[in-house]
Amino acid sequence: MALVMVARFCPSGRQVWVGSTSKGARSQGVPLNRTGFGGFSFLNERRLIMVSGIKFEPEFKERAVRLYLERRVEHQEESLAASVRQVATVLGMSADTLRGWTRAAEVDAGTRPGITSDMAAELRKLRRENAELRRANEILKTASAFFAAELDRPRL
């Protein structure tokens, strides 16, 4: 069974293919909100849909968090979960995704304890660099053991 791929264009002008097929071949474009696609909709063309999952542009994330914060100010009697659900429904996205973005924004603003986005990015970079250095160290150890064995071997 093949899923249908749909071509959409993001504001930067790049073409983005949505969905996938079993063989990786592109098919004729059809609306993604048809039956069988789990209710995906294109309420906002700023979303980038990728084969591996949904990727959102930073401007869309900022707008979603801003809408959530505005709703919290306007509807203070409403629960946090209800506010997240309402804004996520309006934007056509998952409430869990929006909840994660709002928590990250609160951490970045300093109103919630945790690791900020900048610190997390730096930590990922350092871990990646550390892993690369460990691999290089293992290669050098293996090479030095090989050359040491070559030097110790008697010559005929």
3-state secondary structure the chain: CCCCCEEEECCCCCEEEECCCCCCCCCCCCCCCCCCCCCCCCCCCCEEEECCEEEECHHHHHHHHHHHHHHHHHCCCCCHHHHHHHHHHHHCCCHHHHHHHHHHHHHHHCCCCCCCHHHHHHHHHHHHHHHHHHHHHHHHHHHHHHHHHHHHCCCC
pLDDT attached to residue 151: 82
pLDDT attached to residue 56: 86
Q: Report helix angle 95-109 to 117-152, nearest 10.
A: 90
pLDDT attached to residue 53: 60
Q: Domains in the chain and their CATH numbers?
A: 1-56 (no CATH), 59-109 (1.10.10.10)
Mean pLDDT by 10 residues, the chain (156 residues): 42 45 43 40 44 74 94 92 93 91 93 92 97 97 91 78
Please give the C-alpha separations between residue 15 and each of 6, 10, 11, 30, 49, in angstroms, as whole numbers.
10, 7, 10, 15, 11
pLDDT attached to residue 150: 84
Q: Do the Cβ atoms of 82 and 89 come closer than 8 Å?
A: no
pLDDT attached to residue 144: 94
